[in-house]
Chains A and B, each alone.
Chain A
């Protein structure tokens, strides 16, 4: 990825560029948000306030542009853009690294005004405790902006106070990348309203998603392994519901746009997770106490915890469809690509393991007591205790 329209070059100064205290803080916050500055110091800066100047100097604007261009491209390349991979392009498989597959004008990131406005707001205000309103219309954002806001949210969400403030803003709440990466952090109640994922499968956003496949797999894998540590029933239910809703909508949009290759991370997360037969305790083993009084609520929470394995049913249906597509049918190449991916991930076995884990939770299926214990935090391990997290 490169910036196609290069900004007018400011002559390089002999020494370091001179910036004001405010600009210095802004640049450090920016570097923190793009993963180039320590988290604890970055959070501290975001939580602090400083008097806002009328405008920024040309020197600092140049540094902001430079940082955005280099850091975002570096991030995408490191996360998967460098891989010699294969993705669909106009219905046909295209191989190579991202710069081999995609023409330069299609992979040039552009950043617009809301990014700078957000940086100035985050620098000037105590983000966790400010009355100064800031937000931007999600429709006005470029794909580069969305990538930046996703990275910013990811950096900041470790702080619960900041997370609470930011997830209420449209710019994050409507960010499809945020929803597909950490849906549990996008909601604070039972209501889940994922955004429309359609745009994620078109143009440059699809290219970003191609680069992020491995990153998303690792992220979801980590999240699934951490679920066994969740002790609070309510939190588990909220997170699980958000995950299920986001993944379902995402998979539906991928199918509609004939870009099932971009849902590869869902398949691989399950494949890497379900390497052995597992019981639901892997996900629900950390739940503390008896949980909600109603059996229905307890069951719903436990079902929600297995949001990721539940998606294997959809992927298995895709595979069934792919198998039925003949050589002369439309979409043959794409279906062949999916079948190859499915076989490589041992999809049939993974789907069977996912189904087995899900069914253990279901009442009236022969293992009732293992699934909906009245007092415990989930299914009791009948065998295979090795799948217990941690």
Chain B
């Protein structure tokens, strides 16, 4: 007489998931002074804003899980977001077998285990995708936040460079700045 039995298999796994996103772009630094001088001005301004100089000459600031890196020489800026999580997932499956027909209990168990492995992989893939979205959202949000600051840095460097250039050209008689309109007027006696 055929007898049915049910097998329940549970599998769980813990993985360290990592996701990241990064954008690179070029700062719009005008060549008012020679490249080296412009780089120095940029470096000084970045230092004031919490950037730290690295061995390779780049300036880096970490804002939580985001890293902003600026190369003062080339004007290249990169913003990187990283997300890392330890994720545990569990999957459970049931299968029915018969003692006289079909696969043996051992085979059935193996088959269910394989299916569970696929289920777990899918779950981790979904988690990976979620983590990736999180990193990208963070990056997008941070880009919106950092954009005014980057503009300010570029404007400040340009203003400082113009002042230095004016001093090189002659005697600076008057400097007037309008913070609202962003205009800078320098009167130089040559």
A-to-B contact residues, CB < 8 Å: 293-296, 299, 359, 362-366, 368-369, 372, 374
Contact = CB atoms under 8 A, between A and B. Distances in A.
Contact of A363 (B23, B132, B136): B23
Given A364-B146, A366-B151, A293 B22 contact: no
B143 A368 contact: yes
Given A295-B140, A374-B140, A365 B133 contact: no
Nearest to B77: A364
B105 interface: no
Contact of B150 (A294, A364, A369): A364
B129 interface: yes
A294 B151 CA distance: 25
B21 A364 contact: no
A294 B146 contact: no
A364 B133 contact: no
Nearest to B129: A293
B41 interface: no
A296 B150 CA distance: 19
A277 to B, nearest CB: 18
A369 B144 CA distance: 8
A293 B132 contact: yes
Contacts of A296: 21-23
Contact of A362 (B22, B26, B129, B146): B26
A374 B139 CA distance: 11
A368 B21 contact: no
Nearest to B133: A293
16 contacts: A293-B132, A294-B21, A294-B136, A295-B23, A295-B136, A299-B23, A362-B26, A363-B25, A364-B27, A364-B77, A364-B146, A365-B28, A366-B151, A368-B143, A368-B147, A372-B23
A366 B147 contact: yes
Interface string B141-183: 0011011001100000000000000000000000000000000
Interface residues on B, range: 20 to 34
Choose among B23, B132, B146 the residue with the greatest number of A CB atoms under 10 Å from its CB.
Answer: B23
Nearest to B139: A295
A344 to B, nearest CB: 29
Given A359-B28, A369-B144, A372-B23, 16 more contacts: A293-B133, A293-B136, A294-B136, A295-B21, A295-B140, A299-B23, A363-B23, A363-B25, A363-B147, A364-B25, A364-B77, A364-B147, A368-B143, A368-B144, A372-B140, A372-B143
Of the candidates A293, A364, A366, A374, the one having the most CB atoms from chain B within 10 angstroms of its own CB is: A364
Contacts of A366: 147, 151
A364 B143 contact: yes
Contacts of A369: 144
B132 A362 contact: no
Interface string B85-102: 000000000000000000
Given A299-B23, A364-B25, A294 B143 contact: no
A374 B22 CA distance: 14
Contacts of B23: 295-296, 299, 363, 372
A146 B143 CA distance: 49
B21 A362 contact: no
A347 B137 CA distance: 40
A363 B146 CA distance: 10
A295 to B, nearest CB: 5
A374 B132 CA distance: 13
Nearest to B135: A294
Contacts of B146: 364
A365 B155 CA distance: 12
Contacts of B79: 363-364
B80 to A, nearest CB: 9
A374 B26 CA distance: 21
A365 B139 contact: no
Contacts of A374: 136-137, 140
B31 to A, nearest CB: 14
Contacts of B147: 363-364, 366, 368
Chain A CB within 10 A, most for which of B136, B137, B150: B136
Given A293-B129, A293-B133, A365 B25 contact: yes
